[in-house]
Amino acid sequence: MVNRGIRGATTVTRNDGEEILRETVLLLREMVERNDLVAEDICSVWITMTTDLDAAFPAKAIREIEGWELVPLMCAIEIPVKGSLPKCIRLMVQVNTEKSQKEIRHVYLNEAQRLRPDLTESK
């Protein structure tokens, strides 16, 4: 097995705690589904949010998912580059896997699809 990073990002419409938590879970679940992940194979999850979001810790939502209670989680603020995508939540999931880089499916939802249109899959 090797350690791989799986990227994911989504956006919310406003700085609302419930929406931040809901969209974080939707993003993570989509990453899990597209990559056939199980929590036991996750090394850690790095979470960033843009500075315009401060109504909730997205890690809280992940900790409440059954089986994810012991996965190490870390939240941080995304670098505030002028003109960058607002109201954005990003995940970097570190996973032990047999998959190659080409087999990894990164996930970009909502307005975050603009960040990496080359990696965006339509469902």
Tokens of 123: 């469902």
Say if residue 22 carries a ligand binding annotation. Answer: no
- Catalytic site includes residue 90: yes
- Which of these is catalytic: 14, 29, 114, 116? 116
Of the candidates 14, 29, 63, 114, the residue annotated as catalytic is 63
Active site residue 33: no
Is 78 noted as a catalytic residue in this protein?
A: yes
Residue 34 known to bind ligand:
no
The answer to the question of whether 90 is labelled as a binding residue is yes
Decide if 4 is catalytic: no
Single out the catalytic residue among 19, 75, 105, 111: 75
Residues with active-site annotation:
7, 63, 75, 78, 90, 108, 116
Binding site, annotated residues for prephenate: 7, 90, 108
Binding site, annotated residues: 7, 90, 108
